[in-house]
Each structure stands twice: as C-alpha cells, then as structure tokens.
Amino acid sequence: MIHLSLIGIGTGNPDHVTLAAVRALNDADLILLPRKGDAKSDLVDLRRLLCDTLLANDSDARVVEFDLPKRAASGDYLGAVDDWHAAIARVWDAQIAEHLPEGGRVALLIWGDPSLYDSSLRIADRLTRAGRAVDVDVVPGITSLQVLTAAHRVPLNALAEPVHITTGRRLRERGWPNDAASVAVMLDSGGAFDALPPDGLHIWWGAYLGMDKQCLIDGPLQDVSPLIKARRASLREQHGWIMDIYLIARQPLL
C-alpha cells in the first residue's frame, strides 16, 4: 500500500508552510520533486530549499527528483491536458515502483493548494484506477490568491458580495462573470484583462508572490494595464518564467 500525501506548500516561502505540512514531510519515506526544465529551475530550487529547511536531521525521507512530462501544444486544450495528466501519472507510478517497491509513504510538494487550479488529485486518482493501491491524504496550503490579497491589504470580496475565481483563458472567452462584484484571475498567459471594458475597474496584480522577487502593481485598470503588461514581459525575460495572479473589482473592497 502507498500512502500518498499531497502537501500544499503555498508559494514556496518556508514561513507559509503549515505545521501539518512539516509533519507530513517528515513522516514520508520518499519525497518526489518534479523538474520542469531550465526555464523554471527556480521552482525545483524552492522545493529543495523547503526540504533542506523543514526536514529534521533524523529524517529517513529520501528526496528524489524526476523530469515532469511536457504538455503537448494542441488546439484541443482539454484533450492535451488529459494526455499530459496520463503521462504524469505514469511517471509517478514508475518512480514509486523504483524507489518504494514494498510500499510506504510518498510525499509530493504541491504549489499553492492541491484543491485550487491544481490537478494532483486527478492524477493521483489515475494511479488508483490503474490498479495501484493508493491512500491519498491532502495537506492544505496557502494559495497565491491569499498571498495576493494579503500583500495588497485588501479583502477578496466586497461587503456581502460574491467573488468569482477563473482563468485568463475563460476571462478572454466569456468576459466579466454575471453577478460577480470581484474576479480573481489565475493562469493568465498575459493581458486577459484587456477583454474587459476598463472603465470603473480596479486591479490588484502580483507576480512571484511570497518570493524575494515579488512584484506588486495596483490601480485603475485603464491606467495601469500598460504598466502591468510591460512589467510582466520584462520579468519573464529576466527570469525565464513568470507566475502571476490578479484581482479585479467593480466597486471598492474596503
């Protein structure tokens, strides 16, 4: 039997990792760290730092790195993602079979939280459906959305109003969601807010949240939209990758 812990690690800041996450990490027999290529080497470096910082000196956990399969570029987005998840599940299974053939406790450090725009739970379910005996445990983490609102010192929603969490692709396709007073946007490849009429909208944007290179911009959308796009392009060029998120509201949040 494999006990698989999906451990939410927030945005990579050790101060944001919960005590429950630290316990789960130290209880593991095997910790798997995905490598996403040179462009995102910072991400595996942060996971290494967390292991170095949070593992006790007497921990028996083995830390093993593996190459994460790349998602194929395809016009069929959902089909490409499904194939990608299947490939990741096969890699997870191969790593477990190689390094923990008799069973035990496996930990995966999940960026943010395993429940919010992350597919680790779906991939773990594929292991079960493929016949491997897996008991899954989820340790929640602080999300970039929480770090964003904390950094800007604003609440997520206007008083007594709903909030909508979506992706950049959906925002481009569908525009402002009905009945939402504020909209949080994740996984934007850049500038999806240009699909919105900017009048009366305020944006709070952040990149590399929780890291030393954190960058924040806020203001009326029509004023700061060009600044955000230029800063985003510059940061991506500088670091080789970017991870950002933003909140937009129609009315004051305070």
Q: Give the chain's residues under pLDDT 70.
A: 37-41
The tokens describing 113, both together, are 């939280």
CB-based contacts of 229, cutoff 8 Å, min separation 6 = 190, 191
Residue 40 has a pLDDT of: 58
**pTM tops 0.75:** yes
The domain covering 2-139 belongs, at the CATH homologous superfamily level, to Tetrapyrrole methylase, N-terminal domain (3.40.1010.10)
**Domain extents for the chain?**
2-139, 144-249
The residue among 209, 143, 106, 185 whose CA lies nearest residue 9 is 143
Question: Which of helix, strand or coil describes residue 101?
Answer: coil
Residue 45 has a pLDDT of: 84
Instruction: Report the distance separating Cα 199 and Cα 15, nearest Å.
Output: 38
Residue 199 has a pLDDT of: 87
The tokens describing 205, both together, are 């944007």
Q: Considering all CA atoms of the chain, what is the largest pairwise distance in Å, rounded to the nearest integer? A: 61
**pLDDT tens profile 223-241:** 999 999 999 999 999 998 8
Residue 222 has a pLDDT of: 95
Residue 38 has a pLDDT of: 60
**pLDDT tens profile 105-161:** 999 999 999 999 999 999 999 998 888 889 999 999 999 999 999 999 999 998 999
Residue 41 has a pLDDT of: 61
Q: Look up the CATH number of domain 144-249.
A: 3.30.950.10
Contact (CB, 8 A) for 235 and 215: yes
